[in-house]
Amino acid sequence: MSRKQITGIGPAPRTGVDDSGCPILHVDMDAFFASVELLDRPELRGRPMIVGSPAGRGVVLSATYEARAYGVHSAMPMSRARRLCPQAAVIPPSHGKYAEVSRGVMEIFHAITPLVEPIASDEAFLDVGGARRRLGPAGAIAALIRAQVLDRFGITCSVGVASSKFVAKLASKQCKPDGLLVVPADEVVAFLHPLPVSALWGVGERTEQALVRLGIRTVGDLARVPPATLQRELGQAVGTHLAALAWGRDERPVTAHAPDKSIGNEETFAVDVDDPEVIRRELLRLSEKVAARLRKGGHVGRTVSVKLRRADFSTITRSRTLKEPTDVAQEIYATACGLFEAAGLERVRLRLVGVRMENLRAADSASHQLALGERETGWREAERAMDKAIRRFGPDAVLPASLVRGRLDEMEA
């Protein structure tokens, strides 16, 4: 095969690589949260480091590659990560910092092409077909992006270049960390078929077990099975989907500015909590964060949902759809409290709570219908004034009184 994997920053070598049929890039930051933290902690470079709760609660948000060598990975329970790598430095997350760097990275992408589809704060698909006349071949554009991200932010990213989103994402994973991999259009099948079948989108643990029972372990094995057999064993939709991916067929375009489907926040407590007042205080804090994100993104939502995880890790969710969409924290909070009370968990020890707003649409101030007796200047105006104060003076500039009392109680304890 003539596909090239390139590590380090520089122009993509052209010898033997035909990227003319490869307009799709998948750009993925390397250990994003951990890499951002290392900018302020250079003394930790080369050492195992985990971003997560130092108290050992919750899950791993990010880990350096030195920690990953011990089996640590994102979404792993922190307690298990600490057992696997007890010598790792554990850094609490700084979400504001990550959001700022993410915005800057996305600005780099948008300067290349308007066809940018973010799929997380640290990764996105780009269609650079229209940028090639201005900036050169796709491989060279990928190298340019990597150089700009490193120069501006001091962090690395890996880029897959291919003819489809599916193959580009696989390519970026193959060349991590700090790499660039071009998969020419006429070599997609040769690239895919040696890979384990679990590499395909849609193959989770249960599907993989079903395939292994059929003697299917690699993508090449899957490609040789008649689609009708896959449809019979896995269902019409899944069988058809996997049969297409096994031959590299993925017709989905890069979709720019995909709208948010929901906005939410959750919190894992340092110790399990069975005090309903503490739970309600946390629901208020989360409702404030969700509402602020709604207003910042120009959204309102109609469906409020809460997530409640017991100490034994069992989780329940409850949701309620409002008569009118809202971006007001007090309305979200009142609904979240009602859902919490209806769940019957007021005296049950909880490990985690979350608040989420769903059924979103673009905000339109003219569409808000005042309820009978509601003042024109109320919570909405007050919360927008709070937004301005927070932007100017920082996140703790203005807090609801109950959250201030909560902090004082914690300090006294």
Amino acid at residue number 161:
V
Distance of CA 270 to the CA centre of its chain: 23
The answer to whether the beta carbons of residues 194 and 28 sit under 8 Å apart is: no
Residue 54 CA: distances (Å) to CA of 79, 81, 187, 291, 310: 10, 11, 46, 28, 20
Please give the full DSSP string across 266-311, using - where no structure is assigned: EEEEEEEE--HHHHHHHHHHHHHHHHHHHHHHTEEEEEEEEEEEET
**Annotated catalytic residue within 123, 187, 288, 383:** 123
Catalytic, 123? Answer yes
Sequence-separated (6 or more) residues with CB below 8 Å from residue 38: 44, 45, 49, 64
Q: DSSP character for 43?
A: G
CA angle 147, 153, 30 (to 5 degrees): 75
User: What residues are designated binding site?
Assistant: 28, 122
- Alpha-carbon dihedral sign for residues 17, 20, 26, 31: positive
User: What residues are designated binding site for Mg(2+)?
Assistant: 28, 122
| Distance separating alpha carbons of residues 280 and 340, to the nearest angstrom | 8
Residues with a catalytic annotation lie at 123
